[in-house]
Amino acid sequence: MSTGLECEFIEVNPGRWYYVLENWDALKGAFDWREHSTAYGPFVSHDSAADHLDREHANPGGYEISRYTDGFEPDAVLAALLADSRH
């Protein structure tokens, strides 16, 4: 069974991955779910980030993957999450 929480894997630089997982007590229907979430990382690959998610958290049920592209700049919400990330 999945939790139904939002989850996104993000490659912020080549070989530098994080995932952002919605907090279990997040306000449903929030304008930006990431404002009620926690970032984990960095990891060397998507696979290592996914392994961490599997070991440490309940299955969110699905996720997005955002791979690095030239010129990527995190927005203010993501920058704050990354600055306070856990591993």
| Domain definitions of the chain by residue range | 7-83
What does pTM read for this prediction? Answer: 0.93
Picking from 61, 69, 6, 65, the residue whose alpha carbon sits closest to that of residue 35 is 6
Residue 86 DSSP code: B
**Is 22 within 8 Å of 33 (Cβ atoms)?**
yes
State the pLDDT at residue 30.
79
Half-sphere exposure of 12 toward its Cβ, with a 13 Å CA cutoff?
Answer: 21
Q: CA-to-CA distance for 17 and 67, rounded, in angstroms?
A: 9
Segment 7-18 mean pLDDT: 97
Q: What is the pLDDT of residues 29-67, one digit of tens each?
A: 778 999 999 999 999 999 999 999 999 999 999 999 999
